A and B are shown apart, each in its own frame.
Chain A
Amino acid sequence: MLEHQLIQSTGFRNFGPVGAREGFAVRIRVPNYHGTRLSHFDGFDVTVDGELFPFEANRFGIRDEVYTLEEMREETEARWGLTEWGEILVDKPGGLEPGVHKVEVKARIRYSYFPPDVHIFPMQAERFATICVA
C-alpha cells in the first residue's frame, strides 16, 4: 500500500546513468480524493532544499508511460487511480546528493466543479525525504 502522506519516501531517487545522472524522481499518490483523468492535472512544481523546479518543465510518469506537460494536458483517456502512485521526473544534471532533502510539491489540479477563475487548485505538501544512491 501507499504511505499516508502525498509525497512518498520510496521512489525518491536519481535517474539516468550512474556517474552521469540526468535528474531525480519524486513519487506521490494522487493529489485528489478520487482517481482522476490525466488531463485534469496541470503539472507539478517541485522544490528541493529551496530550489524551485517549475511545473512547465517537469514530466509525469505513471505505470509504463511518461508524459510532458503538453501531453498530460491532452490525455483524456488515461487515468490515475486512487491507490496508484505516479512520479514527477525533474531534470537536474548530476541528480541530487545522497542524503536527506526538504522536498515540496505543489500539484496543480483542475476541478471542473470549482469556479472558473480558481479551477486550477494547488494541492501542496512538504516533507523530508532521502536519496539513498548517488
Chain B
Amino acid sequence: MAGSFKYGVSAYSYTDDYGSVMTLEDAFDHIADTGATGIEILGEGQVEGYPNPSSAFLDRWFGLVDKYKLEPTNMCSWVDMRITLQRNLTVEEGAAELERDLRLAHQLGFKFLRPKFGVTSHDLIPETQWEAYVERNLDTAEKLGVIICPEIHAPTPIKHVVVDGYINFIERTGTKNFGLMVDTGIFQNKPLTHWGSHQINEEARKHMEFLNGIAVNPEEFLDIARYVVFIQAKFHDIDENLEDQNIPWRPVISALKRAGYTGWLSSEYEGWRAPWRSIDQVRRQHALLRKLEAEYDAQPW
C-alpha cells in the first residue's frame, strides 16, 4: 500500500456558526473529534486582532493546538488588489501584504499559506503583479519553511492559462516554496442548491454558471500532481447514505491515489448555512473519504 492521505478540516467549513454558535475552542473540538489531525484557518477570521494578534491570543492558540493535538496546516490570506475604489495596490504594497501573512502563518505554526490574488477576468486570470509579489517573498518563505499555494478553484479548470502561469513560475524559479492548491469544487458535476448562505435562484444560476459544476475530469489531476502541495476538499451536501450530491469522490480518490498524493485533504464545507449543519456534514465527509481510501487500498480501481 502506498502512503495515505492526511485528514484535516478548514474552519471555513463552520462559516456563520463561527462567532455565533461556535467559539474557536469549539471548532478545535469538532475538528479533532472527526479524527482529523490538521486545522486550516482563515488568517483574517480565526486570528483575533489580525494581523497583529495579542500575546494572550497566541497563548490561547498554542494551548488549543496542544490540547486537541491538531497540527496547523494552511492559513488562507488575501491580497486586496483593489485596495480602494479608486486605486490598486502597488507591487511594493502587494508584496508587503504577502510578507505580513507569511510571517503570521509561520508565527502560528502553519506550513502552507494560500493567498487569494485579485483577478482581472471572468475566468479568474490573476492580476499580472502576482508574480512580483511572490518572487519578492520566496527567500522569506524558504527561511520560514512556508509554501505559498494559490488555489485552482472553479470556474478555473486544470487545463487553463491560470494553471500554466503558476507552473511556468515554478519551473522558471525552481522554487520549492510555491505550489498549487487544488479545490475539489473543480470536480463538481451536479448543480448546487445552496452556495454558502445563498439559496441559488435561476437568476444566480444564469450569471454564475459554474454553480452547476465545471466537471473537470479527475484524471487530469495526474497531469499536475507533481506541482500540487495541498488539497481543499470542497463539498456542499452529503446525504445520510454518505452520498455526496455534487462531487464524484470515487474517481477523484482513485486519481489522487494513483498520482501518489499523500498530502492534506482539508475539508471545506460550503453548503447550506443552517446553524450547526456544517458540523455533521464535515463528519460525513470524513467518514466517506476514509471509507473510500480504505476500499481503494484494499482493492484499487
Residues of A within 8 A of B (CB): 1-4, 29, 33-37, 39-40, 42, 73-74, 76, 79, 81-83, 110, 112-116, 118-119
A-B residue pairs, 6 tightest by C-beta:
A112-B118, A83-B19, A112-B81, A35-B44, A34-B45, A4-B20
B169 at interface, CB cutoff 8 A: no
Which of B44, B49, B50 has most chain A Cβ within 10 Å? Answer: B44
For A1, give its contact among B19, B49, B83, B119 (CB under 8 Å): B19
For B44, give its contact among A34, A110, A112, A119 (CB under 8 Å): A34
**Nearest-neighbor residue (CB-CB) of A74 within chain B:** B84
Label chain A's interface by main secondary structure. Answer: loop
Residue numbers in A under 8 Å from B23 (CB-CB): 1
Residue numbers in A under 8 Å from B46 (CB-CB): 82
Nearest-Cβ distance from residue B101 to partner chain A, whole angstroms: 12
Contact B79 A112 (CB under 8 A): yes
For B20, give its contact among A3, A76, A81 (CB under 8 Å): A3
B165 at interface, CB cutoff 8 A: no
Q: State A53–B217 Cα separation when bound (angstroms).
A: 48
The tally of residues in B whose CB lies under 8 Å from a CB in A reads 37
For A79, give its contact among B15, B50, B118 (CB under 8 Å): B50
B67 at interface, CB cutoff 8 A: no
Q: State A65–B275 Cα separation when bound (angstroms).
A: 31
B16 at interface, CB cutoff 8 A: yes
Residue numbers in A under 8 Å from B81 (CB-CB): 112-113
Q: What per-residue 1/0 map shows which CB atoms of B3-19 lie under 8 Å from chain A?
A: 00000000010011111
For A39, give its contact among B17, B83, B196 (CB under 8 Å): B83
For A81, give its contact among B50, B79, B83, B122 (CB under 8 Å): B50
Contact B48 A113 (CB under 8 A): no
